[in-house]
Amino acid sequence: MSAPVIHWFRRDLRLRDNTALNAALASGAPIIPVFILDENIIRSKRSSPARMQFLLDGLHQLDADLKGYGSRLLVLRGTPREALLRLKGETGAAALHYNRDYSPYARKRDAAVERAFGGPTHTHDDLLLHPPGSVLSQADAPYTVFTPFKRAWLTLPKPNLQGDGLAAGRFHNLDGLDTPPIPSLADLGLRAEVTPPDAGEAAALARLERFMARAIYAYGEARDLLYADPWSEAAHGTSTLSPYLRFGMISPRQVYQAAVEAQHRAVPQAGRESVDTWINELCWREFYTHILHHFPHVARGSFRRNYDDLEWRDALDEFAAWQTGQTGYPVVDAAMRQLAQTGWMHNRARMIVASFLTKDLLIDWRAGEQHFMQHLIDGDPAANNGGWQWSAGTGTDAQPYFRIFNPVSQSRKFDPDARYIRHFVPELRDVADAHLHAPWEMDSPPRNYPPPLVDHKQARARALAAFKRVG
C-alpha cells in the first residue's frame, strides 16, 4: 500500500475545482486532508472574530463534505511547520500538496514549511486566474498601473475548470489518529460580533447562481447603489461573493466561467457590458494580489514612497468617532455601522469612509486598513491594502490626491432615497429626505446625533496642503 500524502487546505476550502487537491488525488496516494489554525494569525492584531467565525463555519462544512467521501478534516492548531511535521511523523506521509498563497507572510511561512518538511512538497497556482509573474509588461516587469495590467490580463487565455478529482482518488484511513474537534470561537479566546453568512462550497455556489441569474446584467448601473443587508437572500446590486473568494470556498475559475456563460446568455448590449464590468472587478482582485507580491513594501508603507513623509494627524478621538459611526456625516456613519453589524461593507461605502478618514480627517490609511482587517469577513491583505492606498492616494494608479470625495454628494448620488442611512442611523429615521444627507443644515437637527466632526470644505483644503507638501 502506498504511503499517504497530505493536502494542506488554506485559502481553498472546497473539494471541487481545487488544483492541489486534484493533483494529490491524481497521484494515487491516499489523502490526509488537514487545515491548520495558525496561532500567529489568530493572535495577530489584524485578526477578526467575524472572519474567524466564518472560517470555523467553513471548516465544519468542509468536514461534512469530506464525510460524504468517507473521510474527515483534521483541524490542527499551532504553527504550520510544527503541526505538519508532527502529522508527517504520525502518519508516515510521503509528500505535501498545497495551493500557493502570495502574501509576504504566507510566502515566509511556506518557505519555512518546505525547508522543514523533509519530503517532496508540490505547490500549485489556484488562488487567481493568472498568478503573479504571469502578467508582465513587454519589459518583463510587473505592471504598476491597473489599466495596462487589465489589457494584458484580458488577452491571456483563461484556465479551464479543473473539475472534480474526487471520483478518481481516495482518502487515507484516519481512524487511528486522535485529533481534537474543530474548536469554537470561544476556544480560540475570541467573541462573536456578528452572524456571518452560511459558509462553504454549496453556499458559495448558490450565491453565485443567484447573482448570475439576474443581478449581473444590471451590475453596471446597480453596483454603486448602497444596500444594507449583504447576507439576505434578496437580489443585490453586487455578488457578495467576496468572503467565499477570500477563503476559496469558490474558485476564480468557477466565478469567471459562470460570468462567461452569463455573457453568452445576455441579449441586450447593456447586459453584456455589465458582465464585462463585473469581470473587471475580478481583475482588480488579481491586480492587487500581484502588487502585494511584487512590491511587498506596500504592506507597511505607501506604494509611492514619497507619501511615507506625509504628516498624518494623531487624532484618537476623531478616529474613535469614525470607527463607531459617530462622525456626524450620515453616510460615513451608516457605512461604519454596516461594517460593525454585518462584517461587510459595500464597495462604494468603503471608498467613501476611506476617503473621509484619510482626507477629511487626515488620519493615516494604515489605521483604517487595520480596522477593516479587524472587522471584514472578506478581509484580504492584498485587496484591503490596495483599496486603502487607492483611496488615500498613496497607491499604484491611485486617484490623484486632489480628487477628494465629498461625502454629501456621494451620499445623495449612491443612497438617493436614503434607505441605507435610515437603516443604520435610526437617530435620523424621522428626518425629512431633503435633510438626511446633511442634517446639520436643518433649523433644529436631531439632538441625539452628533454635529459633523469637520467642515468638509476646510478639511479638504487642509488635506490638499498636506498632500502637496510631499506630492
Ligand X SMILES: Cc1cc2nc3c(=O)[nH]c(=O)nc-3n(C[C@H](O)[C@H](O)[C@H](O)COP(=O)(O)OP(=O)(O)OC[C@H]3O[C@@H](n4cnc5c(N)ncnc54)[C@H](O)[C@@H]3O)c2cc1C
Quote the CA–CA distance of 468 and 108 in Å, as a whole number.
37
Min dist CB 431 to ligand X, Å, is: 27
For the segment 165-184, give every residue that binds ligand X (CB under 6 A): none
Quote the CA–CA distance of 171 and 6 in Å, as a whole number.
10
Min dist CB 26 to ligand X, Å, is: 28
Number of residues this chain uses to bind ligand X (CB under 6 A): 28
Beta bridge partners of residue 347, listed in sequence order = none
Min dist CB 77 to ligand X, Å, is: 25
8 is catalytic: no
Min dist CB 97 to ligand X, Å, is: 25
From first CA to last CA, the distance across the chain in angstroms is 65
Quote the CA–CA distance of 144 and 136 in Å, as a whole number.
10
Min dist CB 82 to ligand X, Å, is: 29
Q: Are 79 and 39 in contact (CB under 8 A)?
A: yes
Q: Using CB under 6 A, which of 103, 238, 254, 396 touches ligand X?
A: 238
Stretch of residues binding ligand X (CB under 6 A), selected from 98-106, 284-292, 419-427, 439-447 = 284-292
DSSP helix/strand/coil, 348: helix
Nearer to ligand X, 32 or 129 (CB): 129
Residue keyed to cell 498624518: 312
Min dist CB 29 to ligand X, Å, is: 33
Is residue 245 involved in binding ligand X (CB under 6 A)?
yes
For the segment 204-223, give every residue that binds ligand X (CB under 6 A): 223
Query: How many other C-beta atoms lie within 10 A of the C-beta of residue 300?
Result: 10
Closest of 23, 9, 14, 71 to residue 252, by C-alpha: 14
Written as nine digits, the cell of 412 is: 445623495
Quote the CA–CA distance of 117 and 121 in Å, as a whole number.
8
Nearer to ligand X, 24 or 255 (CB): 255
Query: How many other C-beta atoms lie within 10 A of the C-beta of residue 148?
Result: 13
Site string for ligand X, 43-62 (x = CB under 6 A): --------------------
For the segment 351-390, give every residue that binds ligand X (CB under 6 A): 351, 354, 372, 376, 378-380, 383-384, 386-388
278 is catalytic: no
440 is catalytic: no
Nearer to ligand X, 8 or 278 (CB): 278
173 is catalytic: no
Q: Helical H runs in 231-298?
A: 242-246, 252-265, 269-294
Catalytic-labelled residue, pool 347, 406, 427, 440? 347
DSSP helix/strand/coil, 77: strand
Q: Which helix (H) or strand (E) holds 95?
A: strand 95-99
Catalytic-labelled residue, pool 281, 406, 427, 440? 281
DSSP 119-182: S-EEEE--SSSS-TTSSB-TTS-B--SHHHHHHHHHHSPPPPP----TTT--B---TT---PPP
Min dist CB 233 to ligand X, Å, is: 14
Stretch of residues binding ligand X (CB under 6 A), selected from 94-102, 239-247, 266-274, 297-305 = 239-247
Is residue 248 involved in binding ligand X (CB under 6 A)?
no
Strand order in the sheet with 95-99: 74-78, 31-38, 5-9, 95-99, 121-124
Q: Using CB under 6 A, which of 281, 313, 399, 449 touches ligand X?
A: 281
Nearer to ligand X, 32 or 259 (CB): 259
Q: Are 90 and 34 in contact (CB under 8 A)?
A: no
284 is catalytic: yes
Nearer to ligand X, 50 or 383 (CB): 383
Annotated active-site positions, please? 281, 284, 312, 347, 365, 388
Residues that bind ligand X (CB under 6 A): 223, 238-242, 245-246, 281-282, 284-285, 288, 347, 350-351, 354, 372, 376, 378-380, 383-384, 386-388, 391
